[in-house]
Amino acid sequence: MSTTGFLSSQEVIQVFDKHVIPNYGRYPISLVRGEGCHVWDAEGKRYLDLFPGWGCNILGYSPSRLVTAIQEQAARLIHVPNTWYTEQQGEFARQLTTHGFGQAFFCNSGAEANEGAIKLARLHSSEGKHKVITFENGFHGRTFATLTATAQPKYQEGLGPLMAGFRYAPFNDLEAVRELIDDETCAILLEPVQGEGGVNVATKEFLEGLRALADEYGALLIFDEVQTGMGRLGTWFGYQHFGVQPDIMTLAKGLAGGVACGAILATEEVSPSLRPGMHASTFGGNPIAMAAGIATVNTIEEENLLENVQIVSAHAEAKFKELQEELPIIQDVRVCGMMIGAELTIPAKPAVQKCMEQGVLINATHDTVVRLLPSLNTTTEIFDEGFEVIAEALREMADEA
């Protein structure tokens, strides 16, 4: 037992080693509580988390409004099947579609949402249209359809044969899509900003071109907004940032502030194709997730967090570009809202360890990209506190290179 009253990190690790399937690479730390932008481990060490919950904790750790909403809802009604109506599901759908478009279907995760979106695209299309075009370095989940949609061989290794009907194009390459699309194509699926793929930002011209191609061939345009949705880009949803309207949008991660929740939003023309009996989710739209989602939307609105994202985003981009001028190991800086990536000329993983030792949590992706997904209520002062640690870690790595 540690001095904090919790099992020590080492004691928890021993339990995991014996009883939990070891399919994750884990840091040797047991986290026990969080508040705002900070989280504490079992030994009492405090960390500033600039990658909270892999972007799920969009309001930080345990925001009071969310905690109250969950507690009150749990005391009234935890779960009912989707064969019944609940006020919470209707209200959350109203909030999302008011800020976005169409009608909503609720599930539990991003993979579930993308799986459902692919089914919806095939259901909505005329007979024979079944192909889906996705993009290299994208990430859409780990179910079989979404794994196939994820055009990264490292995630597909050993799992073949994959689903038929998927075609892959380079990101931001409209001509490549033009060569792939045909009369059997039912959908084009992509992230407006590739997160796991290295914070790769789509150009507005590319998205506009995809919209035109989809219309020309009678295909649907699907935006995977699992990471870009719910204000992360400084607009409610990423498509609004780029001014390009998809037919279907998928959401998860920050959708309910860290409570498991996913959603499909589809235009009113497309959504009826998901007819009764064709798709379902037992826990999707459960009252606790819906209450958490409503509290998340209300918090973003009332605390002007979309405006805060734009302020902190511009500040973060300026700080990283200034550091890029100092350190040649920083090859590129890519910032879109609260999605922040710095591509290095060397492996990025050591930066994660160095920062963790100094009490700051970040992420490395795509081998060479330092990635941050701060909560929407991170201030410039809190960001600077973490940035100084990151900058020092990168200076050390530059000296060692």
Known binding positions: 110-111, 139, 142, 224-227, 281-282
Distances (CA, A) of 381 to 100, 386, 390: 31, 9, 14
HEC profile of the chain: CCCCCCCCHHHHHHHHHHHCCCCCCCCCCCEEEEEECEEEECCCCEEEECCHHHHCCCCCECCHHHHHHHHHHHHHCCCCCCCCCCHHHHHHHHHHHHHCCCEEEEECCHHHHHHHHHHHHHHHCCCCCCEEEEEECCCCCCCHHHHHHCECHHHHCCCCCCCCCEEEECCCCHHHHHHHCCCCEEEEEECCEECCCCCEECCHHHHHHHHHHHHHHCCEEEEECCCCCCCCCCCCCHHHHHCCCCCEEEECHHHHECECCEEEEECCCCHHHCCCCCCCCCCCCCHHHHHHHHHHHHHHHHCCHHHHHHHHHHHHHHHHHHHHHHCCCEEEEEEECCEEEEEECCCCHHHHHHHHHCCEECEEECCCEEEECCCCCCCHHHHHHHHHHHHHHHHHHHHHC
> Residues annotated in the binding site for N(2)-acetyl-L-ornithine, as ranges?
142, 281
Annotated binding site for pyridoxal 5'-phosphate: 110-111, 139, 224-227, 282
